[in-house]
Structure 1
Amino acid sequence: MRRWGPVIALLAALLGSMVAAAPAGPSTEATPATLRTLAAVRGIKIGSAVNITALATDDRYRDTLHQQFDSVTAENAMKWSRLETAGDDAYDWSAADYLVETAESFGQKIRGHTLAWHNSNPTWTSNLSAAERDAAMLEHVRTTVSRYAGRVDVWDVVNEPISDKDDARLRDYWTDLGGEDAIVRVFETARAADPTARLYLNDYNVEHAGAKSDAYYALAARLKSRGLLDGVGFQTHLTTRVNEATGFRAVLQRFADLGVEVAVTELDVRVPMAPTAEDKIKQRLLFRRATNACLAVSRCVSVTVWGFTDSYSWANADDDPEYGNATLYDTAIEAKGTYWAVYRALARRDVDTQAVAGHSGRCLHVVNGSTEPGAKLQQYTCTGSTSQVFRFRRLAPRTFQITNTANGLCLGIDGASRADRAKVIQETCVEGAPAQTFVLRPATGDGAGDGRQYQIVAQHSGKCVEVRGGNLTNSGRVEQSACHRDPAHTDNQVWTVLWGHL
């Protein structure tokens, strides 16, 4: 197998100091309407797998990666078969180091892929006994994670552990190494090597209900119970031929309810190489559905596409010559309709949701379900009634006008008062009114529950919406007061905003 050291040395000679210095591309400040800026507003990361050769030699590829994505995944550069081809602890870090250095210069988070995978073992390990192979794998995990400790944010620790067979058991590779105990050892080794990194499982064909998804869930639950698992990855390799992705949101939520992060990790959608108009429409639909599924689940932290351009896509070099062109950009690195499908999903301005008081578990509620201006707000047992559902209309990052969906009236501070204990009421909407504009400030706390925790801050006064006196009962008055400096998630100024990312 070709070594990356000589290749990158040659590229450095041809391209000046690009590899050594990993200079940044064009500033994202000049292009605010990008996937990465839209994703940041929604509170998720948007990422891409990275082709190292393209990163080093193709300026358009490099600039697009920088402008559009705030997270990168090592497509191949961090796989064991690429790092330690010869054994005897002789590692070639050149490609992986280059990716990390470039990502850091671009202000991108890094997803390490993958530490343990049955399809990416160095050839020399085939001559080892099971015990020797296990020991070598753990040493590889320890060495690799330690090298990038504090720099790689997320590791796909074990990739594709579940078999495609009808019984959805662990793959034979893991059974030969000792079954689930071998997987536990890999996670324990990674955790010890970098306690700050987020540790994930990752697999495919688990985006819909079925035996494989169930087996994946059970494994995730057991690893979570041991304190070893931080997140679950869903590869999401789709094709217009068979996939619909209609149940994906429910699957993500099921796993999120374990108390772990979830992420779309390898999204692409294959179409026929000579697609009809209907094929293209369905491809856009599947990209949008996958993105929306993540946005609808508050613990979904990222959407990563498996390469962003058809010119460097594995889908065009795989064993299915009839299907491909699975990415967001064409071979000239021009945005396709699939790009705009993801863009529009991220750019959606309005979210209909409930807000739950952290201290009481009761919902923000219009008193008596009134449709009249001047009606007060209170907390009340959550029922899902229209008097408890509010539309958060995004005006700017984390800044919203909040309307009751039943009557279209805006929440505001009574009389635009700046005083403590001024009531929160509903009133006729006035575009841009500061007393009807609220900033959602992320609160401290453990992030437990179905949503995310925020202080809701009135823009005109800088004061926080709270339940007066920490009242725990129905009819507790909602008003503004000076914001607590370090609120916990049980604080009476902290609101859990349900159903996804604002």
Structure 2
Amino acid sequence: PTSPGGGVGGSAPATAARVLTYSVTFPAAGTYDLYARIRVGANGPNDDSFFYANGFGSKSPTTGTDWTQANNLYNIGYTASADIVAGAGSAATGVWKWLNISQYSFGSAALVTFTVPAGALTQTFQLGAREDGLDFDKFVFGRHGYYFSVANLDAGQQGSATPPTVFVPTGPPLATGKPKYLGCAYSTAQAPNFGAYWNAVTPENGGKWGSVQPTNATTFNWGDLDAAYAQAKPATGAQSIFRMHTLIWGAQQPTWVKSLSSADQLAAIKAWMAAVAARYPSIDYIDVVNEPINTPPTGFTTISVPGTPAGTADPNGGGYINALGGTGTTGYDWIITSFQLARQYFPNARLMINEYSVENSATRAATYATIINLLKARNLLDGVGIQGHAFSTAGIPAATITANVATVAAPGVPLYVTEYDSDGPGDADQLAEYQRVFPLFWQNPSVQGVTLWGYRVGHWRTAQGRRLDVVAQPRHGRALGGVGVYQVGALGG
């Protein structure tokens, strides 16, 4: 339904039929937080929002200022009995989970608490429908400033006024003293306690050209990349490995580059490399070309996805492959040119290529090996990246992964697993997948280091149940503890 200021996707429920009204009698005056036990349907982010009144009393179903939207609930929430329920969490879709709505803000909206005055303990409270795949079980008003666990809320018990003990890891990083590094993607969401676990840093999105120069050739947004570099190379204290990700790619590129002439595109590429080299003099590794097989910078999609067939124009797709020489005589001249430029601008860094789904495809692994050999013959390649994402390893037999990694390793260039993750709907599922897949990479003598693509809420696989990020509790999260035990104890090197 639609109405002024309302409707699905609008700012209010739209009609009175889409509003639930409750009369709530409180035990005492005070300020309260709103908690909800919800279950998000199979459509995930299309099933995960509702409206709630931003104060007590009857509200207009068509007045947006009467309502606050709770949205993007599909990948947050709490399910474990001992979890303290706040405005985050990592529970996925299809499970009943608790959330402190008063501590959760969608779109930077103001946080809403509810004040009950003395002499007016009975109040009217309203909820409004937005998307039709979200189930409600319970709503609870809990004293603001108190801490409620899942068990407290399930049982209708009072919370605690004492803050919970928060586990703070002290390090050292898991791979300390080992011949291989164990790193992680870095972003604001991944930053807390980063150095206690990881001894290699890769900017998750901050080092992509489209992140640094999204609007024009003269404006630079270095903030996220500076933060990642500072994590690895602080002015004082221990230094760790910094992997720059990435110079050349067919996604997340500046839209303004695509419309330039080939000559101007090449000039822009050189300026981009020169700017990175000048600002970050101690880069250890660089993903010079990312996803040359699956996502070359043609300006068009290469791999079909639902709703976007291969060959669809992509404004973020670079469109500069011909400026680098196109396919040329080798079939991959543009890659060779990219590495020649990188060797010029970054003479002291180790130059890498990076690709996904080579571990599950013999054909793609063979193509990758061809590219590797072309670069190796020209002394342009120092490392080969295999991303190691869950969508490439889940359900793939260990023998298949091992055989394809061997194909990629055959040219004799060191391998690095650059974006590892394993999913799972629960801790035990994810732990089992880590135990199955992680050793295939870590124990391989050709693999010199592994980087996880995030470990906390906010990483790109949060919605798929990557529960490795549950590190606020003393148990760390079962999968993270499993990696730690495996890394330090079972490998021995």
User: Which bracket does the TM-score occupy, shorter chain normalised?
Assistant: 0.5 to 0.7
> Structure 2 vs 1, CA of residues 207 and 174 (structure 1 numbering), >3 Å: closer, same or farther?
farther
Deviation at 1:327, TM superposition (A): 5.1
Q: Runs of 4+ in structure 1 displaced over 6 angstroms?
A: none
Q: Structure 2 matches for 1:420-435, cutoff 5 A?
A: none
Indicate yes or no: 2:437 matched with 1:302: no
Q: 1:336-391 deviations in whole A, cap 9, x for unaligned?
A: 222133223313447xxxxxxxxxxxxxxxxxxxxxxxxxxxxxxxxxxxxxxxxx
> Structure 2 vs 1, CA of residues 80 and 31 (structure 1 numbering), >3 Å: closer, same or farther?
closer
Indicate yes or no: 2:306 matched with 1:153: no
Q: Structure 2 matches for 1:19-418, cutoff 5 A?
A: 31-32=171-172, 34-37=173-176, 40-41=177-178, 43-51=179-187, 53-54=188-189, 61-63=191-193, 65-105=194-234, 106-149=238-281, 151-163=282-294, 173=319, 176-177=322-323, 178-179=326-327, 180-239=332-391, 242-272=395-425, 275=426, 280-309=427-456, 311-316=457-462, 324-326=464-466, 328-330=468-470, 332=472, 335-349=476-490
> Structure 2 vs 1, CA of residues 345 and 173 (structure 1 numbering), >3 Å: closer, same or farther?
farther
What amino acid maps onto 2:406 in structure 1?
Answer: Q
| Correspondence for 1:380 | none
In 2, distance between residues paired with 1:66 and 1:127? 41
Deviation at 1:332, TM superposition (A): 4.2
In 2, distance between residues paired with 1:258 and 1:127? 37
Deviation at 1:76, TM superposition (A): 1.0
Q: Point out the more displaced range, 140-149 or 76-85.
A: 140-149
What amino acid maps onto 1:344 in structure 2?
Answer: V
What runs of 5+ residues in structure 2 fail to find an aligned partner?
A: 1-166, 295-301, 305-309, 312-316
SS in 1 for 2:364: helix
SS in 2 for 1:219: helix
- Number of corresponding residues: 299
In 2, distance between residues paired with 1:344 and 1:202? 28
Is the 1:269–1:327 Cα contact (8 Å) retained in structure 2? no
What amino acid maps onto 2:186 in structure 1?
Answer: V
Is the 1:153–1:197 Cα contact (8 Å) retained in structure 2? yes
Q: 1:57-98 deviations in whole A, cap 9, x for unaligned?
A: xxxx522x1111000100011111111123233323233222
Deviation at 1:114, TM superposition (A): 0.6
> Structure 2 vs 1, CA of residues 343 and 139 (structure 1 numbering), >3 Å: closer, same or farther?
same
SS in 1 for 2:422: strand
> Structure 2 vs 1, CA of residues 31 and 126 (structure 1 numbering), >3 Å: closer, same or farther?
closer
> Structure 2 vs 1, CA of residues 103 and 241 (structure 1 numbering), >3 Å: closer, same or farther?
closer
Q: How large is the Cα RMSD of the aligned pairs?
A: 3.1
> Structure 2 vs 1, CA of residues 290 and 154 (structure 1 numbering), >3 Å: closer, same or farther?
farther
Is the 2:365–2:408 Cα contact (8 Å) retained in structure 1? no
Bigger helix share: 1
Q: Point out the more displaced range, 246-255 or 102-111.
A: 246-255
Deviation at 1:124, TM superposition (A): 1.1
Deviation at 1:175, TM superposition (A): 5.2
In 2, distance between residues paired with 1:327 and 1:223? 38
Deviation at 1:325, TM superposition (A): 2.5
Q: 1:162-184 deviations in whole A, cap 9, x for unaligned?
A: 03669x99x99575441222221
Is the 1:267–1:304 Cα contact (8 Å) retained in structure 2? yes
SS in 2 for 1:222: helix
In 2, distance between residues paired with 1:203 and 1:85? 24
What runs of 5+ residues in structure 1 fail to find an aligned partner?
A: 1-25, 56-60, 317-322, 351-393, 395-501
TM-score if structure 1 supplies the norm length? 0.54
Is the 2:253–2:318 Cα contact (8 Å) retained in structure 1? no
Q: Structure 2 matches for 1:475-494, cutoff 5 A?
A: none
SS in 2 for 1:36: coil
Deviation at 1:192, TM superposition (A): 1.2
Is the 2:180–2:448 Cα contact (8 Å) retained in structure 1? yes
Q: 1:443-486 deviations in whole A, cap 9, x for unaligned?
A: xxxxxxxxxxxxxxxxxxxxxxxxxxxxxxxxxxxxxxxxxxxx
In 1, distance between residues paired with 2:387 and 2:171? 29
Is the 2:369–2:410 Cα contact (8 Å) retained in structure 1? no
TM-score if structure 2 supplies the norm length? 0.55
In 1, distance between residues paired with 2:433 and 2:322? 37
| Correspondence for 2:8 | none
What amino acid maps onto 1:74 in structure 2?
Answer: P
| Correspondence for 1:363 | none
Is the 2:185–2:201 Cα contact (8 Å) retained in structure 1? yes
| Correspondence for 2:55 | none
What amino acid maps onto 2:389 in structure 1?
Answer: H
What amino acid maps onto 1:303 in structure 2?
Answer: V
In 2, distance between residues paired with 1:308 and 1:139? 33
Whose relative contact order is higher, 1 or 2, with alpha carbons under 8 Å and at least 6 apart? 2
In 2, distance between residues paired with 1:342 and 1:104? 25
Is the 1:200–1:230 Cα contact (8 Å) retained in structure 2? yes
> Structure 2 vs 1, CA of residues 285 and 27 (structure 1 numbering), >3 Å: closer, same or farther?
closer
> Structure 2 vs 1, CA of residues 226 and 347 (structure 1 numbering), >3 Å: closer, same or farther?
same
In 1, distance between residues paired with 2:394 and 2:406? 26
In 2, distance between residues paired with 1:327 and 1:133? 42
